[in-house]
Structure 1
């Protein structure tokens, strides 16, 4: 498999919001909320801890981490 070329720009808040919606809709996380300070609060399970992501670039990075974990655990 050929590696992807690096991004030419940082992910926008709109892109991060779209990925957040996918994560919640696919039930890969319980909740993702954007704060006015452009941070993102992520809760994996309803009773789990809340993680703070520093900015929009961290949401696609979280998505990639979850996707990698799912694919690496398949037989």
Structure 2
């Protein structure tokens, strides 16, 4: 596996919002809402528990986890 270079800066709210929108559109999350405090409220599935994420970095970390899980569980396409 190729190591990921470190980010040159912290993730922005706009970047987190874009990724949250993608995850909801692709139905990988049920909901992701930015609270006025800068925290994110995330729900994996309807009637599931709501998780509170501290900020944009946590949204991107969740996105990476979902991408890793999705890629590691799909069959090889060769």
TM-score normalised by the chain length of structure 2: 0.90
Q: What are the ranges of 5 or more consecutive residues in structure 1 without an aligned counterpart?
A: none
- In structure 1, the partner of 2:9 is 9
Structure 1 residue 72: deviation in Å?
A: 1.3
Q: How many residues align?
A: 75
User: What are the equivalent positions in structure 2 for 1:45-56 lying under 5 Å apart?
Assistant: 45-56=45-56
Hey, what's the Cα distance between the residues in 1 that align with 2:70 and 2:42? 18
Provide, for residues 8-67 of structure 1, a one-character-per-residue CA deviation record: whole Å limited to 9, x for no partner.
111000000000000001000000000010000000001100000001111111000001
TM-score normalised by the chain length of structure 1: 0.94
SS in 2 for 1:51: strand
- In structure 2, the partner of 1:63 is 63
Structure 1 residue 71: deviation in Å?
A: 1.2
Q: What are the ranges of 5 or more consecutive residues in structure 2 without an aligned counterpart?
A: none
Structure 1 residue 3: deviation in Å?
A: 1.9
